[in-house]
Amino acid sequence: MLSSLSVTLVFAAAVLLTTALKLWLLARQQRHVAAHRGNVPAAFATAVPLAAHQKAADYTLAKGGLASFSIVFNAALLIGWTLLGGLDALNAWTQSVVGPETWAGYAQPLLLIGAFALIGMLLDLPLELYSTFVVEQRFGFNRTSWQLYVVDAIKGLAVGLVIGGPLVWAVLALMKSAGSLWWLWAWGLWLGFQLLIMLLYPLLIAPLFNKFEPLQDESLVQRVQALFQRAGFSAKGLFVMDGSRRSAHGNAYFTGLGAAKRVVFFDTLLKRLDGAEVEAVLAHELGHFKLRHVPKRLIAFALISLAGFALLGWLAQQPAFYVGLGVRPSLVAGNEALALLLFLMVVPVLAYPLAPLLSASSRRHEFEADAYAVEQADGRALASALLKLHEENASTLTPDPVYARWTYSHPPALERLGAIHAKLSPA
C-alpha cells in the first residue's frame, strides 16, 4: 500500500531535485556564454562578425535570465496547486457551483479541468508578454502587434476548446465506464488522436494562424523539383509560410503524415538564403522523411505514453496518490478529473530524467539528416545556411557542453559543421 506521507515526500524531493538541476544547468550555460562573449570562436572567426557573436551572447543571456525566473515560478506554482491545496480548493469550488446531485456526471469534472487550464494560461501570461514584447522586442525579433497577439490568443483558445474538449470528455468517459483496463483504451484513443492531429494540423490548424503558399521564384522551383525527383519525393510538398508576421526568427521544418506531409520554409529564412542553400536545407528536411524519423519518434512516443497511462491507471486507484498530493478525493463521486490533473502535473517531474535521452536521440536524427543532405545537395551550402540560421536567430555558438548535452534538440553549431566538413573531405 502506498502511504500518503511517502507520496508527499517523494514528490517534494523530486520537485526540489529537478528544479535545482534545471537551475544548475542553466547557470552553467549563462556562465559559459558570458565567458566567451568577448571573442568569436576560432572556427567561426572568418564567417561570423564580432557584433553578431555578441548579440547572440546577449540574447542568450537575456532569455536565460527569464528562463531561470520561470523555472522557480513553475516549481512554486506546482507546489501551490498540490501540497498547498490549490487544486483541492478549486475542486471544492466547482463542486459548490454544479451542486452535489450532478457530481457523478460530466459537468463538474469538465468545469474543473477547464478552470484549471484557464487559470494556468492566465498565470503564464505575464511571462509570455514579457518574453514577446520586452525581450524579443529589445533584440529586434518581435513583429507581433497587440492586436495580432489578442487575435492569436482567441483563436488558440477556440482550437483548444474544439479539439481538447471532446478528447478530455472521451478520456473521462473511458475512466468512468471502461473497467479496470480503461487506461489501455485511453492510450489507444490518445494515440489515434495524435495521428489525427498530425494529419490535420498542416491542413486545418496551421492555416488558421499563417498563410502557406507554394514557392514563387521560378529558378528556385526548378532546383527544388530536381531535388524532389532525385530524392523520390512528391513535388507538392514545399510551402512558404509568412513567419515574418510575428517574428524575425527564421526556420524550416517538416510536418505531417502520409499525403499531408510537407516541408515548410519561413519567408524570413528564404530571404536570407541563396538557391544552393535553400536546396541544401530542403535536402536536410527530406532526410528526416527518408530516414523515417517521423515514425521512429511516433513509436518512441507511443511506448513512453503507454507506460504513462499504465502508471495513471494504477495511481488513480490509490487514495494516497490524492491525499499525498494535497487533494481530498470524493467518496461519493468519481475522481477522474482530479487524477488526470494531478498526473499531468506529476509526470513532467518524474519524466525529467528522460529529457537527455530524448534530446540525444533528436540530435542523432539531425546528424543523420545532415549526412543525407550532403549526399543529395551541396554540403558547403548546407554549412553556410546553418551559420546564417544561427546568426539570423542569434543562437549562441558557444553553449555550455553539459547544458547542450542535456537540453539541445539540435547539435551545437561547432559539432554539426564539423560533421558536415568531415563528410565533405573524408580523411
Least distance (Å) between residue 362 CB and Zn ion: 9
How many residues does this entry show for the chain? 427
Q: Which one from 285, 336, 391, 392 is the annotated catalytic residue?
A: 285
Through-space distance between the first and last CA atoms of the chain, rounded to whole angstroms: 61
How many CB atoms are closer than 10 A to CB 93?
12
User: In the complex with Zn ion, which residue's Cβ is closer, 109 or 412?
Assistant: 412
Looking up cell 521560378, which residue turns up? 218
d(CA 197, CA 126): 29
Q: Please identify, using beta-carbon distances, which residue of 11 and 228 lies nearer to Zn ion.
A: 228
Closest CB to Zn ion among residues 25, 385: 385
Q: How far is the CB of 370 from Zn ion (least distance, A)?
A: 8
Least CB distance to Zn ion at residue 366 (A): 5
Q: Near Zn ion by CB under 5 A, which window of 180-188, 303-311, 333-341, 365-373?
A: 365-373
- Strands 262-266 and 252-255 turn out to be antiparallel
CB 286 within 8 A of CB 372: yes
**285 part of the active site:** yes
Site string for Zn ion, 317-356 (x = CB under 5 A): ----------------------------------------
Angstrom CA distances, 137 to 121, 130, 144, 425, stand at: 22, 9, 9, 42
Kindly indicate which of the ranges 24-32, 39-47, 153-161, 358-366 contains the residues binding Zn ion, using the contact rule CB under 5 A. 358-366
Nearer to Zn ion, 336 or 366 (CB): 366
Measured between alpha carbons, how far is 166 from 150 in angstroms, rounded to an integer? 25
At closest approach, how far in Å is the CB of 9 from Zn ion? 42
Given the residues 370, 378, 391, 392, the one annotated as active site: 370
Task: Assign 177 to helix, strand or coil.
Answer: helix
Residues 345, 7 contacting (CB under 8 angstroms): no
Please report how close the Cβ of residue 256 comes to Zn ion at its closest, in angstroms: 15
The reply to whether 375 belongs to the active site is: no
Helical pair 107-130 and 50-81, crossing angle rounded to 10 deg: 150
- Binding segment toward Zn ion, per CB under 5 A, in 33-41, 100-108, 123-131, 360-368: 360-368
Q: Which is nearer to Zn ion, 26 or 373 (CB)?
A: 373
What ranges in 316-396 are assigned the alpha helix state H?
319-324, 336-350, 355-376, 379-392
> Around Cβ 348, how many Cβ atoms within 10 Å?
12
Catalytic residue list? 285, 370
Catalog residues that contact Zn ion under the rule CB under 5 A: 366, 369
